[in-house]
Amino acid sequence: MAKAAKILLTGASGQVGAELLPLLRELGEVVAPDRAALNLEDTQSVRAAVRDVAPLWIVNPAAYTAVDLAESEPDRAYAVNRDAVRVLGEEAARLGAGVLHFSTDYVFDGTAGHAYREQDATAPANVYGASKLAGEQALAASGAAHIILRTSWVYGATGKNFLRTILRLARQREVLRVVADQTGAPTWSRDLARLTAHVLRQVTPLTLGSRGGVYHAAGRGETTWCGFAAEGVRLLQEREPEARLARIEPITTAEYPTPARRPANSRLDGTRLAREFGWQMMDWHDSLRIVMGELAEQGAGEG
C-alpha cells in the first residue's frame, strides 16, 4: 500500500481501534472521526463521512458489542453492525476503495466439535451474532473489495474487557465463580492491530482479488473463561505474592444464565490466514504474559 494512502478508521477509541491508530499511521494518512463526525447508528452520517474522506481503505473495528443488551434493543445492534457496514461497503465500491472489517465467532452456534473454518455453516445463537453476520453479508453484497476478520475473546491492557474485570474483582472478593464449559482462545487487541497493518502492507483494493473474503483471526491455543481467569490471577499472584486474591471456581453456563446465549465452542481455525498472508496469531499464553506486564506498569486490574 502506498505511503500516501488515506485510511478511514472507525472506533479509534475502542480496544482494537486504539491499537490500530498508531500502526495505521505508519502506512498513510489516518482519519479517525469521533461520534459527532461519524455516527454509526445514522447511515447518512456514515455515507457523508466516507465521501468527505474519500479513503483508499476503510478499517472498521467499531461495532455494537453489548451482547446481552442487544437482545432487548436489536434495532441498535442491526443499525451499527449491519446497516452501517452496508453503507461503508456501498461507498467503498463507489470509490474503488477497500474495507477491512472485524467480525466475531458469535456468527456460529458453537455446537461443532472442531475449530471453526471460514466455510463452515453459520448459525448465530443470539441477536449480536445475527447482526454481525448480517453485516458480513451486507459487505460481501456491496461489491467492495473487502477482508473480514472474525475474532474472539478480545482483550488488552486498556479498555473494558474480561481480564481487567477479573483482576479487579480478584482483589475484592474471596471467590470468583467463572464459566468453565465455553471453549475458545483469548485474542490480544494489539495482535489484531499488527495483523491488520501486515495485511494492508501486502494488498491494495485493486490487487486483493482472491485473497479477499473471510478470515479467522483468534489467539492460538484454547482454554475456557475459567481457565483464562485462573491463569490471569495466577500470573498476578506470581507478581504480587503477598496479595490476597480470589479463588477461581468453575461453574457451568447453566449456573450463570445470561439474556444472550453464548456458544460453547468459540475456537477458530487460522489456517487460511497463515496460508494467504503468512500470519499466525499469538498463542494466548504468550500474549497474556505481555498484557499482564503492561497492566503491572499501570496498576493491575484497575478500571
Which residues are designated catalytic?
128
Could you tell me which residues are beta bridge partners of residue 223?
Answer: 184
**Coil, helix or strand at residue 14:** coil
Beta strands in the chain (DSSP E): 6-9, 29-31, 57-60, 98-104, 145-151, 154-155, 175-179, 183-184, 187-188, 213-216, 223-224, 247-251
Burial class (CB in 10 A: 0-12, 13-18, 19+), 273: buried
Q: What is each CA distance from 6 to 12, 27, 97, 133, 193, in whole angstroms?
A: 15, 9, 10, 27, 17
The enclosing H or E element of 239 equals helix 225-239
Burial class (CB in 10 A: 0-12, 13-18, 19+), 111: exposed
Sorted by sequence, the CB contacts under 8 Å of residue 70 that are 6+ apart come out as 64, 76, 77, 126, 127, 128, 131, 260
CA 233 – CA 225 distance, rounded (Å): 12
